[in-house]
Chain A
């Protein structure tokens, strides 16, 4: 339930990876020594630690083709817990070093092993492992901020805040909380001295008008092959995000998710820890089960007491009978050019009103595009600056027929070779769809404004919204060999 040390690594001004922040917890080290006895391995100094970590992560000696220590084919479960092979006087294996990395950042910590060290215990027996992962993820969110692009200046200033952040969330190696993203944790307005205990995860109290904001976003992923021997795949998952500005130390709010009649049940429901209770029927449906048709299909009630900041109330997956857009993609090699044919068909159940809808056609392992001669039934076509990508902008609406086509030829006669990709060689190619449809969900799931209950004195304003978006929505060329993406449907 404790970590021995914490390290934050990033590129220094675009150069080498270096340790930007580290913290060791000497009292935990003291415990580690007495717990591990003769098998104790001390934490090495920074530079050694970094070197060993990078080797394990496969990031060392980037100029060399093969390094045994780094590239040995012997399988060891590596992530999320690495073992560092410490050499020299304090020789031994340092385990389990947890790492998370995103963008330019690598965060690592070393949880205390509080069970007998020999034989090596499973990770699952160490509570400190999941807590360490939570701490690292929290620090990562804090350091990178909400923006997708981490700026080095912001990172620097947030790194400088870490000592005072750690004083609150992990002063002596035992993680107590994760830092609030963005803002430095400052003591907030004093709370009333009532008898009700204030939740430790609530930084202050809201005063003013009550507003409850509930956003439902569904994401659809798909792999379409246009091939009889290979079944097309798609899945949908939804998240419900809330921002609740409600007075009181521990106000009660209930949000209800409903499905249309005959809607297939929500599966794999995960809830935020502020949800106070759950009905067992809500948890029964699972995507890895065979759906027997008798499962509970709502309404799904989530009673909770909200924290101050926005949070993800719950998430679910759903099985829908058809993908929103069915596509086909065909390529034919003709002398020095490629004959292209794409058809996209919007399913009739989908609202024909997009925020945007674009189809991307990348071409790898070829020269740059020369002449692009395409006929579109709808929308417009852009050729990327790098001349290796076609972007078909379909705009807000499909035509009445709900079907669009693109046909034509591309010659690859550019002066320089385009980008390469080990997967998309020869006729292995895809169309990737990016779209967003406001005010609809694929599963039909919705939050009825009137079903939101807030038990507080003032009547709150309640705002709900929903939208459908795509992610990893691929349509593979049916004349080439498409990679197997999942064996889910294999059995």
Chain B
């Protein structure tokens, strides 16, 4: 079982949605809790069982009440767990914290969360282990961490315990003082934040807060839950740079108490791990920023130690300190020093690449004492970063890709600022030389990663220096040469042309590159051309044809020469793909603005393609030819203008497909809808006909056991009663996209999310019209195991304009009760026969063990309510007579061969559902089903 749990837990955490489609969250949670209470399970398994609760609390506890109950259960497990299982108890505390926070129990001060808070505070105060071996210490550390997380998620929760926590922090001499210090500073920070939100709060209140004097005036306001009222502002960092504002508490210069608390914390910060020191420093920065009465100089004695550190988080916390206090703590010499330090660290041989890149990011967002602009978020160079200083960060071919690009970007910014004269010019020359050496590496056939890096560097260079023509023109030349030798770079070059065109709308560099590439392709001798090259050339020419400014004559000459057998043999094979590539270029030319001048050569080329050795290509070419020669120029121009007005490469494609109509493009391309267009909803149940033959013939094939035997015999045919049929309505989703009001030739495809069912076949629906009544779709499911499930559904359909679409439907959820069927017996057996089968099965299940199980479900229901329940939910499955109200006998048959039998009777105290099943794994499902239907009944009647 233990191994099984490990597998199941890992399956759950890998894909919670998939896992829960095979069961329910409640059932899984119940299982986890049952196993946690089980004494036979080992603690290592139990720790494993807690991980779903820690990681996916909200998924398992879908409501606050479930969270509350779960927490109570976990608490009782905690209380009963012997103290020596420290690890398990620690994990229990984490699980409890997760559940209570995520279900908002802490926010609403629920019973369980208050109890839990007491438990945590008790553990935190229990220092009795100090003279023993310290084995309980991890528990105390975890409790402090849980308290810290509770305070972090519900700020102000522990404000009134500040003095207690301060005392604990002071007393502790073991390594645990760190946990108390972290907890204390967070509570202090939040408490002071709360004070800043109180009107009229001042020095007195601050003093009272630190002294634990809770009789202060603001205490009354504690009840008005600050956490929810002030949205998430209190959760945010208060150090936001030049634009940020910090709420302040006006205390006057007299805050001796706070100052002494802060000094102690700072002095002892050395004893914390670097990570915790950084957090503490950041919290204290926030506190001092909120209380102007405390001068930032309080940090001064620690600055040198922090500025010399090799720890990234400590230096980062110091930068944030600078961000908060600028020149009130850091002189301009300090500033110059820090910037130099960052440059050094950005290229330090002993640091890791991510750290170095982080420091470069810090340079680009350097917290200057006197920033010139307040551009939040944008990369700006600090004034002090001279080209001389930045030259330490020039990119080299020995850098890894990300470092190379980050440096390229930074240096480009530096040289852009310097201009093209002097140092800027030299720098620019270096960058271009660097780009060229990358290019020659690409030329020499480097790794894919380096190819991508080169194109990114090229984009950066153009982005900043496209206007420097001597470089950008030369780059065009070099790229053309590169393409000539490496045609497989076509997609990269097209991408570069696209992106530079999009980002640099004023520049014509992109068009220039495409023109040059067109020349390279069309002027090269055909003799050396391979079919691979040709296919890439054609892709490139498609992109070239997108540009209205580029004259297309040479493209047509090229097409004509490759299609003519006498000049090239490449097309004689009649390759379908190649034919299509050629046609794609022709299609673009058909919508080219200079079509007038292309008319004759284009018609000639199309005519040549009409003799291509592939039938389909011939057909398409003929269609294009006809369009070109028969459509009036105005009409064609009209359609073209429509496409051009909207501009851009994408739209042109669309207008073309409109032009071509359904015959061509719709069969070639399937488009994806942006959102779901229609969905399947469960159809209202039809009255199930012929429940049980009502003629009271008491004769069946004989005795009960023989009847069961005969009943069983039916299953020798494996297809017998193996399917369930579900009715669904196919309906539009209520968004008004008139485009999809009428849909045709819909083909629905289903895929399973688990292994409990056999694969489903596709279903065709002729049409779906918004104004007509919805269509009924029958889903036939063949269970391997009759569990609830979800199905992914997608569809392909045609819209009235002839385009073909692919769309995804919302998942279909098959509930447990949808897998129920009435007992499959011949109708001739009558009620007597079925009753006998029922009794026979019941006796068998009760007498044997194996997979069989019996169970009892009780609930409070009035008699009338019970009757309604039976009529509403159980009627098709009722074996006994409806009028026979002392005991209802109900049988659910679940394909392929499971049975759930119910005997429902009203006893004095409650309604008893006696359950018998030959498949114990169904118990949890039937339980949640009964819970649902009976509680529905209670609700409607109360």
**A contacts, CB < 8 Å to B:** 1-2, 19, 22-27, 29-31, 34-35, 37, 45-47, 58, 65-66, 68, 70-75, 77-80, 98-100, 114-116, 119-127, 129-131, 133-137, 163-164, 167-168, 171-178, 187, 190-191, 193-203, 219, 221, 235, 237, 239, 268-273, 275-280, 282-284, 286-289, 312, 314-315, 365, 420, 422-423, 425, 472, 483-488, 490-491
Query: When the two chains form their complex, are residues A172 and B449 in contact, meaning their CB atoms are under 8 A apart?
Result: no
Interface centre among A2, A119, A125, A136 (most CB of B within 10 A): A125
**B contacts, CB < 8 Å to A:** 13-17, 47, 51, 54-58, 87, 90-91, 94, 97-98, 101-102, 130-135, 137-138, 141-142, 145-146, 148-149, 152-153, 172-175, 177-179, 182, 231-232, 235-237, 239-241, 268, 270-279, 282, 304-305, 307-317, 319-320, 323, 337, 340-341, 343-345, 348-350, 352-355, 357-358, 361-362, 364-365, 367, 376-377, 387-389, 391-392, 394, 396-398, 402, 405-406, 409, 423, 426, 430, 433-434, 437, 441-442, 444-450, 452, 455-456, 458-460, 463, 488, 491-492, 495-496, 499, 503
A-B contact pairs, 19 of them (CB 8 A): A24-B55, A30-B102, A45-B17, A58-B448, A73-B459, A98-B354, A119-B377, A122-B364, A133-B352, A134-B274, A167-B142, A176-B273, A219-B349, A268-B344, A269-B308, A273-B309, A276-B305, A422-B442, A487-B394
Please report the C-alpha to C-alpha distance between residue A190 and residue B273 in the assembled complex, in whole angstroms: 19
Cβ-closest chain B residue relative to A131: B313
Given contacts A24-B56, A163-B51, A485-B398, 5 further A-B contacts (CB under 8 A): A30-B102, A68-B495, A123-B362, A191-B173, A486-B394
User: How many whole Å from B418's CB to the nearest CB in chain A?
Assistant: 12
Query: When the two chains form their complex, are residues A283 and B308 in contact, meaning their CB atoms are under 8 A apart?
Result: yes
Given contacts A172-B94, A270-B308, contact A164 B87 (CB under 8 A): yes
Cβ-closest chain B residue relative to A2: B152
For B54, what are the chain A residues with a Cβ–Cβ distance below 8 Å?
A: 25-26
Query: When the two chains form their complex, are residues B146 and A77 in contact, meaning their CB atoms are under 8 A apart?
Result: no
Query: When the two chains form their complex, are residues B240 and A45 in contact, meaning their CB atoms are under 8 A apart?
Result: no
Please report the C-alpha to C-alpha distance between residue A480 and residue B711 in the assembled complex, in whole angstroms: 91
Query: When the two chains form their complex, are residues B235 and A114 in contact, meaning their CB atoms are under 8 A apart?
Result: yes
Query: When the two chains form their complex, are residues B172 and A197 in contact, meaning their CB atoms are under 8 A apart?
Result: yes
Query: When the two chains form their complex, are residues A79 and B354 in contact, meaning their CB atoms are under 8 A apart?
Result: yes
Please report the C-alpha to C-alpha distance between residue A237 and residue B347 in the assembled complex, in whole angstroms: 12
Grouping DSSP codes into helix (H, G, I), strand (E, B) and loop, the B interface class, with mixed when no group exceeds half, is: helix
Please report the C-alpha to C-alpha distance between residue A23 and residue B357 in the assembled complex, in whole angstroms: 26
Given contacts A47-B14, A123-B361, contact A198 B491 (CB under 8 A): no
Query: When the two chains form their complex, are residues B148 and A22 in contact, meaning their CB atoms are under 8 A apart?
Result: no
Query: When the two chains form their complex, are residues B145 and A283 in contact, meaning their CB atoms are under 8 A apart?
Result: no
Given contacts A73-B458, A119-B376, contact A131 B279 (CB under 8 A): yes
For B272, what are the chain A residues with a Cβ–Cβ distance below 8 Å?
A: 199-201
Query: When the two chains form their complex, are residues B134 and A187 in contact, meaning their CB atoms are under 8 A apart?
Result: yes
Query: When the two chains form their complex, are residues B312 and A133 in contact, meaning their CB atoms are under 8 A apart?
Result: yes
Please report the C-alpha to C-alpha distance between residue A482 and residue B58 in the assembled complex, in whole angstroms: 60
Cβ-closest chain B residue relative to A289: B340
User: How many whole Å from B914's CB to the nearest CB in chain A?
Assistant: 40
User: How many whole Å from B137's CB to the nearest CB in chain A?
Assistant: 7
Query: When the two chains form their complex, are residues B239 and A125 in contact, meaning their CB atoms are under 8 A apart?
Result: yes
Given contacts A115-B236, A491-B426, contact A422 B138 (CB under 8 A): no
Contact of B97 among A27, A136, A203 (CB under 8 A): A27
Query: When the two chains form their complex, are residues B391 and A490 in contact, meaning their CB atoms are under 8 A apart?
Result: yes
For B358, what are the chain A residues with a Cβ–Cβ distance below 8 Å?
A: 80, 123-124, 129-130, 133
Please report the C-alpha to C-alpha distance between residue A100 and residue B450 in the assembled complex, in whole angstroms: 19
Query: When the two chains form their complex, are residues A31 and B430 in contact, meaning their CB atoms are under 8 A apart?
Result: no
Query: When the two chains form their complex, are residues A277 and B304 in contact, meaning their CB atoms are under 8 A apart?
Result: yes
Given contacts A193-B173, A198-B175, contact A125 B87 (CB under 8 A): no
For B398, what are the chain A residues with a Cβ–Cβ distance below 8 Å?
A: 472, 483, 485
For B172, what are the chain A residues with a Cβ–Cβ distance below 8 Å?
A: 197
For B277, what are the chain A residues with a Cβ–Cβ distance below 8 Å?
A: 273
For B405, what are the chain A residues with a Cβ–Cβ distance below 8 Å?
A: 75, 78
Query: When the two chains form their complex, are residues B495 and A273 in contact, meaning their CB atoms are under 8 A apart?
Result: no
For A278, what are the chain B residues with a Cβ–Cβ distance below 8 Å?
A: 304-305, 308
Please report the C-alpha to C-alpha distance between residue A77 and residue B401 in the assembled complex, in whole angstroms: 11
Given contacts A27-B98, A484-B396, contact A22 B13 (CB under 8 A): yes
Query: When the two chains form their complex, are residues B361 and A74 in contact, meaning their CB atoms are under 8 A apart?
Result: no
Please report the C-alpha to C-alpha distance between residue A300 and residue B274 in the assembled complex, in whole angstroms: 23
Please report the C-alpha to C-alpha distance between residue A174 and residue B275 in the assembled complex, in whole angstroms: 9
Please report the C-alpha to C-alpha distance between residue A46 and residue B55 in the assembled complex, in whole angstroms: 13
Contact of A31 among B235, B305, B423 (CB under 8 A): B235
For B316, what are the chain A residues with a Cβ–Cβ distance below 8 Å?
A: 124, 127, 129-130
User: How many whole Å from B133's CB to the nearest CB in chain A?
Assistant: 6
User: How many whole Å from B869's CB to the nearest CB in chain A?
Assistant: 36
Please report the C-alpha to C-alpha distance between residue A195 and residue B130 in the assembled complex, in whole angstroms: 13
Query: When the two chains form their complex, are residues B311 and A273 in contact, meaning their CB atoms are under 8 A apart?
Result: yes
Query: When the two chains form their complex, are residues B392 and A287 in contact, meaning their CB atoms are under 8 A apart?
Result: yes
For B240, what are the chain A residues with a Cβ–Cβ distance below 8 Å?
A: 115-116, 125
Cβ-closest chain A residue relative to B462: A73
User: How many whole Å from A300's CB to the nearest CB in chain B?
Assistant: 11
User: How many whole Å from A8's CB to the nearest CB in chain B?
Assistant: 13
For B275, what are the chain A residues with a Cβ–Cβ distance below 8 Å?
A: 131, 134-135, 175-178
Please report the C-alpha to C-alpha distance between residue A2 and residue B488 in the assembled complex, in whole angstroms: 45
Please report the C-alpha to C-alpha distance between residue A270 and residue B348 in the assembled complex, in whole angstroms: 10
Please report the C-alpha to C-alpha distance between residue A365 and residue B141 in the assembled complex, in whole angstroms: 60
User: How many whole Å from B238's CB to the nearest CB in chain A?
Assistant: 9
Cβ-closest chain B residue relative to A267: B344
Please report the C-alpha to C-alpha distance between residue A77 and residue B13 in the assembled complex, in whole angstroms: 31
Query: When the two chains form their complex, are residues A26 and B55 in contact, meaning their CB atoms are under 8 A apart?
Result: yes
For B179, what are the chain A residues with a Cβ–Cβ distance below 8 Å?
A: 176
For A171, what are the chain B residues with a Cβ–Cβ distance below 8 Å?
A: 90, 94, 142, 145
User: How many whole Å from A142's CB to the nearest CB in chain B?
Assistant: 15
User: How many whole Å from B223's CB to the nearest CB in chain A?
Assistant: 21
Query: When the two chains form their complex, are residues A200 and B394 in contact, meaning their CB atoms are under 8 A apart?
Result: no
Please report the C-alpha to C-alpha distance between residue A116 and residue B893 in the assembled complex, in whole angstroms: 56
For A164, what are the chain B residues with a Cβ–Cβ distance below 8 Å?
A: 87
Given contacts A200-B273, A269-B308, contact A26 B149 (CB under 8 A): no
Given contacts A35-B236, A100-B352, A219-B349, contact A73 B456 (CB under 8 A): yes
